[in-house]
Structures are given as structure tokens and as C-alpha cells.
């Protein structure tokens, strides 16, 4: 069965926007498929779901469009017994339903002034639509979809992908993307941020899905954090010197700036700590979009993520003038991120930081989930296409040897973040698979590709051809069948 179950009506008009064409061309069909062409052999020793988001703008944008403004759509591949089933669905947010009823866009994107939106929204300036298009995780047998500018947090059924509604514990201040799940305890740690004091909050949700802890984290002003990290006993939040120009924000304009004279700051606190328990650590100025892991070692807390060499790059010459500034800050070759570690001494307050791998232009990393909260050897990153927010390959970092193994998807083929799937009965840290959706512009189709994590260079062990070509996306997750 390769059945299109629904097609969403769109008002998007043809245009030359670089992130509404090519690999970013939106699609509006919702499919159920279990009779797909398979090139190679689907491994029989994996059982679970791979879920990835995409940004698919349904209606013609109000003013300038940014690729993170699009409506959220989730794509899911279910693996079991050497077979695979695919389905995709839009996340039916309140904004999605309101615009469907109106037949037009009601909210402007985050690069437009709030006065252009036709209805109140969310996020900094409170004018954006919560499209729930950023991050996904699986918890308590359901999929949680989140938005980077702090939205409601939407639940979807892990079998049907039907939108079930808003997560009930989310505070009025919203939920940012990248909450962190402790698989050992079932607790979920999260944060949110905004343009009013204290500018950030932090909370803990118990395994019973009740909000157990919620405190303010005082910052000097509006900030743009994107991710957080947890260890067994601590949570880490951040205050980077990248934030909207305060005077511009007061006048309704979102204009980010990077202030290299300011230090990067990290807030470290016990999982159920109070505001008075926050320990602040300073480091060199940068911006980190995503963290890979965090663990405790003696008196130190070690945090690993993607340090940006150039957090505020110049406009891209290969873009039309009206798009140069808009998309320069999401090109990995402009940002030049690499794997980096911070060591926070909880006794002395000292910070030591160091680069841990020479490979540049990498981000959106994953590790074997069984190594969260303890030192790991391998990280699997997406490699950026020069000049674009696209991923043209995967990189396996061996942090013990200080080496990197790279595999490219091929000309005109672009993938996404690739979660690690532990093989049944695995004995080594890298004994498992990487999975990603890849869009092939040459063949005008999309595939789900599975790699053997021990040997990326041999290419995919299988390629499953999807019933349609899907749009490029950002985040993804893997959940074992036991988690469903």
C-alpha cells in the first residue's frame, strides 16, 4: 500500500526564495506506505521508529520568509522484522488550523516586525506562530514536537501520527525546543525564554507527567538560547553574547547581534536546584546551537557541543541581495562549528575549554543513546553544504583517536540529522546503525537510508524509496519499540 491519505490546500505562490525551492521545496501530501522499493536489505536487528521534522509553509508568507517559519510536518519510518512502513503528517497546531480556516497566513515570520502579524502569537515580540517545526522526541509512548521560539509543545500519536493536542504541563511562558529526557529516571528537563524579565525559566517534569519544579533563571536581558544539557545530577543552561539589539526590539524589530567583548556564560544547577543554587561559569565568546553530551567526572562537569568560530558571519555572496543577510547565519561553512568541550570545576569555579576534533562545518550531532550522561568515544554529525543550510554527508568522530570518517550522500543528495540505533545485542559503542532521510534532486525523489555505524564508507546497507519527495528538515529522533 502506497496511499496518499490527504493533500493540504496551499496558497504559496511561485517565487525565487532559496529556501522554497530545490531541496527545500515544500510538499503537502500526507502518505501511508508499506510497499516501497528497497535497495539493499533492511536490517532485521532494529525495531522502532525514526521520526524527522520538516518545515512546510502552507500559505504565502507575510513579508520575508525564513526557513524556520514553515509549518511543522513529521515523517516517520517504522522498522520491524526487516520491514519498513512510512507515513507523514502535518502537526495540527492552533496556528495551522486558524490559517487553514482563514485561507491565508495570519502571522509574520521572526524576521518581520510584530505589527505585520494579524493575530497575537508567541516568541520574542509575541508575534510569531508556533509551528512546532523544530525538535522531536518520544516520551511515554507519544511524540513531543516543539518550537525553537517557545511554543505549546504538541503531542502526536506514535503509531498514526495524529495530533493529540497540547502537552498539559507546559507553563504559560511556553516550552523551548530541546527539552532533555533522562531515560533512567523518566524525568524531562526543559527551559523557556522571552523578552521580559527574568528572561528564562527552567523546569522538571516527573515520570508521572506532572510539573515538579519550575524556577526563574535571571539573565541580563533578552537572549537566544537554543539547547540545554543534563548530566545525572545537574542541568546546564547558557547565556551567549548573541541576542537581539535591545533598542530595535523595543521598537518591534528583531535584529540579532553578536557582542565579542562579552563572555559566554553557563548556568549549572542541581536538577531540583533553586535560583540561589545556580553556579555561573564563564568561557570565551561564541555561540553553540546544539550539545551532544554532558557528564560528571570527579569535581568536574564536562559539556560537549558545537563551538562556532564565526557566530555572526557576513552576508553570502551567492545569494540574491534581498536574501544575503537573511540566510547567512544558518550556513555551516559561514558559522564554522566544530566539536568542543567545556570542563566546569564545581569546587573552584574554573572553566577549561578545548577543541576535541579538527573537522569543521559539522553540527546536528548524535551519540549512542546508551552513553548519555557518561564519557563517549563516538559522535555522528551532519556535514554542511557550502553556502546553504543543507547537509551533504555524515561524519563519524572518533574522539579517542582524534580522527573523523566522512561519507558524502552524493551529488544533489541532501540528508539530515542521523540518530544512532543500537543493534540488538550490541557489544561495542559503535555497534549499530545511523538512519536519515535523503532528498535526491537528480532523481526527484526521497529515500530513507540506513548506514552501518562501524563502517560508513561502505555506503548505505539499505535505501528505501519514499512515495514522494520530501522537503529538507532539521531534527530527528529514534525510539526503540520498547519505548512505544
pLDDT in tens, 60-90: 999 889 889 999 999 999 999 999 999 999 9
Place of cell 518550537: 147
Using a pLDDT cut of 90, give the percent of the chain over it: 82
| pLDDT 10s digits, 416-474 | 999 999 998 899 999 999 999 999 999 999 999 999 999 999 999 999 999 999 999 88
Q: Is 144 helix (H, G, I), strand (E, B) or coil?
A: strand
| pLDDT 10s digits, 125-143 | 667 899 999 999 999 999 9
Burial of residue 465, with CB atoms counted within 10 A of its CB: 0-12 exposed, 13-18 middle, 19 or more buried: middle
CA angle 300, 303, 309 (to 5 degrees): 130
Confidence of residue 325 (pLDDT cuts 50, 70, 90): low
| pLDDT 10s digits, 370-394 | 999 999 999 999 999 998 899 999 9
Which of 188, 196, 177 is closest to 214 using CA atoms? 188
Confidence of residue 327 (pLDDT cuts 50, 70, 90): low
pLDDT surpassing 80 at residue 42: yes
Q: What is the pTM of this model?
A: 0.96
What CA–CA distance (Å, rounded) separates 328 from 308? 14
Place of cell 553544504: 385
H and E: helices and strands count for the chain:
4, 34
Which of 82, 69, 192, 75 is closest to 133 using CA atoms? 69
- C-beta separation of 154 from 170 below 8 A: no
CATH number listed for the domain at residues 2-49+164-483: 2.120.10
The beta strand positions in 152-221, using DSSP E, are 154-157, 163-166, 180-181, 188-193, 200-205, 211-216
Which of 150, 260, 272 is closest to 200 using CA atoms? 150
pLDDT of residue 124: 74
Place of cell 561553512: 333
What CA–CA distance (Å, rounded) separates 29 from 4? 7
For the chain, the average pLDDT equals 94
Using a pLDDT cut of 70, give the percent of the chain over it: 98
Residues in Cβ contact with 37 at an 8 Å cutoff, skipping those fewer than 6 apart: 464, 465
Confidence of residue 170 (pLDDT cuts 50, 70, 90): very high
Q: Which of 27-31, 45-49, 121-125, 476-480 has the lowest mean pLDDT?
A: 121-125
Which of 130, 132, 111, 133 is closest to 119 using CA atoms? 130
pLDDT of residue 312: 87
Amino acid at each position: 500500500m502506497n496511499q496518499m491519505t490527504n493533500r493540504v490546500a496551499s496558497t504559496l505562490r511561485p517565487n525565487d526564495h532559496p529556501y522554497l525551492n530545490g531541496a527545500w521545496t515544500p510538499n503537502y501530501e500526507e502518505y501511508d506506505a508499506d510497499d516501497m522499493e528497497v535497495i539493499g536489505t533492511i536490517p532485521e536487528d532494529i525495531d522502532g521508529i525514526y521520526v524527522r521534522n520538516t518545515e512546510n509553509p502552507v500559505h504565502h508568507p507575510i513579508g520575508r520568509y525564513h526557513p524556520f517559519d514553515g509549518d511543522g510536518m513529521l515523517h516517520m519510518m517504522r522498522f520491524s522484522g526487516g520491514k519498513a512502513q512510512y507515513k507523514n503528517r502535518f502537526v495540527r497546531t492552533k496556528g495551522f488550523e486558524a490559517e487553514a480556516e482563514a485561507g491565508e497566513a495570519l502571522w509574520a515570520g521572526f524576521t518581520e516586525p510584530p505589527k505585520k502579524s494579524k493575530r497575537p502569537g508567541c516568541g520574542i515580540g509575541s508575534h510569531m506562530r508556533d509551528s512546532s517545526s523544530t525538535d522531536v522526541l518520544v516520551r511515554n509512548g507519544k511524540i513531543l514536537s516543539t518550537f525553537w521560539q517557545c511554543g505549546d509543545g504538541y503531542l502526536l500519536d506514535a503509531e498514526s501520527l495524529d495530533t493529540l493536542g497540547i502537552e498539559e504541563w507546559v507553563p504559560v511562558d511556553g516550552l523551548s525546543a530541546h527539552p532533555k529526557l533522562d531515560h533512567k529516571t523518566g524525568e524531562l528537563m526543559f527551559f523557556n525564554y522571552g523578552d521580559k524579565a527574568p528572561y528564562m525559566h527552567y523546569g522538571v517534569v516527573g515520570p508521572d507527567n506532572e510539573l515538579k519544579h519550575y524556577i526563574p533563571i535571571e539573565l541580563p536581558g533578552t537572549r537566544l538560547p537554543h539547547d540545554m544539557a543534563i548530566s545525572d545530577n545537574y542541568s546546564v543552561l547558557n547565556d551567549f553574547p548573541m541576542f537581539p539589539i535591545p533598542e530595535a526590539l523595543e521598537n518591534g524589530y528583531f535584529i540579532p547581534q553578536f557582542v565579542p567583548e562579552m563572555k559566554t556564560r553557563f548556568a549549572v544547577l542541581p536538577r531540583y536546584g533553586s535560583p540561589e543554587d545556580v553556579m555561573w561559569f564563564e568561557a570565551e565568546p561564541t555561540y553553540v546551537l546544539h550539545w551532544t553530551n554532558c557528564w560528571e567526572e570527579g569535581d568536574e562537569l564536562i559539556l560537549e557541543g558545537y563551538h562556532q568560530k564565526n557566530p555572526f558571519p557576513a552576508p553570502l555572496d551567492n545569494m540574491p541581495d534581498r536574501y544575503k543577510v537573511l540566510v547567512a547565519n544558518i550556513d555551516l561553512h559561514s558559522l564554522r562549528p566544530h566539536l568542543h568541550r567545556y570542563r566546569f570545576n564545581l569546587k573552584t569555579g574554573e572553566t577549561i575549554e578545548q577543541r576535541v576534533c579538527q573537522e569543521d562545518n559539522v553540527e546536528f550531532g548524535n551519540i549512542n543513546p546508551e552513553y548519555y550522561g557518561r564519557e563517549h568515544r563516538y559522535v555522528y554529525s551532519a556535514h554542511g553544504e557550502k553556502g546553504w543550510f543543507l547537509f551533504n554527508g555524515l561524519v563519524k568522530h572518533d574522539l579517542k583517536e582524534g580522527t573523523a570518517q566522512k561519507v558524502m550522500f552524493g551529488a544533489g543528495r541532501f540528508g539530515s540529522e542521523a540518530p544512532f540505533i543500537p543493534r540488538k545485542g550490541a557489544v561495542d559503542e559503535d555497534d549499530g546503525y545511523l538512519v536519515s532521510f535523503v532528498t535526491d534532486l537528480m532523481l526527484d525523489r526521497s529515500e530513507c537510508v540506513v548506514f552501518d555505524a562501524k563502517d560508513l564508507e561502505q555506503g548505505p546497507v539499505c535505501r528505501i524509496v519514499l512515495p514522494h519527495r520530501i522537503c529538507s528538515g532539521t531534527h530527528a529522533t529514534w525510539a526503540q519499540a520498547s519505548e512505544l
